[in-house]
Amino acid sequence: MSYDARSASGSLTVVTAWDELKPVIARLRDQQPGALTLHPTPESDAARTPPFEIQLAPWAADTAGELHRQFGDDVELTVGALPYPPGRQGRPWRHAPGSQVPDLLDPREVTAELDGPAVVSSGHTLHHRLIVHNLTGGELQIATNGHVTATVVDPRTGEVVGGYSGWHTQPLIFFRAAPGGSARIPLLIGTGSHTLRLGYTVPAGEWGIQATLTLGPDPRSSPRRRTPILPLTITA
Report all structural domains of the chain as residue ranges with CATH numbers, in order of start.
10-84 (no CATH), 104-235 (2.60.40.10)
Rg (Cα) of the chain, in Å, rounded? 22
pLDDT greater than 70 at residue 92: no
Closest CA to 60 of 89, 28, 102, 92: 28
Q: Of 20-34, 98-112, 195-209, 210-224, which range is least confident?
A: 98-112
Model pLDDT, residue 132: 98
Q: Are 111 and 132 in contact, with CB atoms under 8 Å apart? A: yes
- According to DSSP, the residues that pair with 150 across neighbouring strands are 211
Using pLDDT thresholds of 50, 70 and 90, give the confidence band for residue 214: very high
CA distances from 61 to 1, 68, 77, 154 (A): 24, 10, 10, 23
How much is the pLDDT for 1? 56
Predicted TM-score (pTM) of this structure: 0.88
Q: Among 87-96, 112-121, 142-151, 224-233, name the one with the lowest average pLDDT.
A: 87-96
pLDDT tens for each residue of 94-141: 444 345 799 999 999 999 999 999 999 999 999 999 999 999 999 999
